[in-house]
Amino acid sequence: TGKRLSGKVTIVTGASSGIGEAIAKGLASEGAKVALAARRIERLEDLKKQIEGEGGIAVCIQTDVTKREEVKELVRHTESVLGPIDILVNNAGVMYYTMMKNLKEDQWERQIDLNCKGLTNCIGGVLDGMLKRNSGHIVNLSSDAGRKGFPGLAVYSGTKFYVEGLSQALRQEVSGEGIRVTCIQPGDVKTELLSHTTDTEAKAAYDGSSNCKILEPSDIANAVIYATTQPDYVGINEILIEPREAP
């Protein structure tokens, strides 16, 4: 067909909104067969219909990635319906702007559970199969906050530093095994991410801190397509994407 990811089996976590939705659409448009994972199943069903309407192949699997058993089931189900997993996109994540002194401990825990533990669970689900097949690509959604700490994002930045540290170590462990590990590091993207914030002090400090046009989810999807369509010997280790200041 000339499509660059024709037949590649892909799992996209957090495919029910924002960046994950755009990545799933983008990969499907390049011919990948996509397993859509998130908790809001109706949203996944809508996306599946859109992808199929454009001639793509998708399945929906309701998954809470913080639950290791659900992740095992996501992998098992995907492999039984679509085949062995070629690409895992660890996109599910949450961000709460919050000043540490305001002690939003439940929000700290939720970010760690999803951004660190959820991502790790998903790698645990696919790694053995990828090693046996000597083939695979793990794409992790980090952030510019995975390279730099931002006030109001202490715990979030911490979770994304975790993603970077894990990715650097894993990349070296699996070099020579046919497995690539890519970190995507976006700046501000227009999604539902910011809407979860309840700490008004941190929100106020963030608002108006930039006059950039913020990125579109499709801008990030394009980076994932780029990373996953390079020849086997090319490792795209990191892609930092930031909005440009308006003139």
Q: Give the residue numbers marked as catalytic.
A: 156
Residue 141 binds ligand NDP (CB under 6 A): yes
Distance CA 108, CA 159 (A): 10
d(CA 130, CA 178): 8
Tokens standing for residue 71: 């992740």
The type of residue at 187 is G
Residues within window 216-235 making contact with ligand NDP, judged by CB under 6 A: none
Which helix (H) or strand (E) covers residue 103, if one does?
A: none
**Binding to ligand NDP by residue 186, rule CB under 6 A?**
yes
Per CB under 6 A, 152 contacts ligand NDP: no
What is the Cα–Cα distance from 188 to 201, expressed in whole angstroms?
Answer: 19
Closest approach of ligand NDP to the CB of residue 152, in Å? 13
> CB 234 → ligand NDP: shortest distance, Å?
24
Rank residues 82 and 141 by Cβ distance to ligand NDP and give the closer one: 141
Helix (H) or strand (E) holding 221: helix 217-228
Which range touches ligand NDP (CB under 6 A), out of 78-86, 91-99, 167-175, 199-207? Answer: 91-99
Q: Does 40 bind ligand NDP (CB under 6 A)?
A: yes
182 binds ligand NDP (CB under 6 A): no
Q: Each residue of 67-81: b (16+ CB within 10 Å) or e?
A: eeebbeebbeebbee
Q: Quick one: 38 or 227, whose CB is closer to ligand NDP?
A: 38
Q: Which of 8, 9, 10, 18 binds ligand NDP (CB under 6 A)?
A: 18
Stretch that binds ligand NDP, among 15-23, 121-129, 166-174, 227-235 (CB under 6 A): 15-23
Q: Decide the pairing of beta strands 57-62 and 87-90.
A: unpaired
CA pair distance 6, 31, nearest whole angstrom:
4
What are the tokens at 1?
């067909």
CA distance 15 to 3: 21
Binding site for ligand NDP (CB under 6 A): 13-14, 16-20, 38-40, 63-66, 91-95, 114, 118, 141, 143, 186, 188-189, 191-193
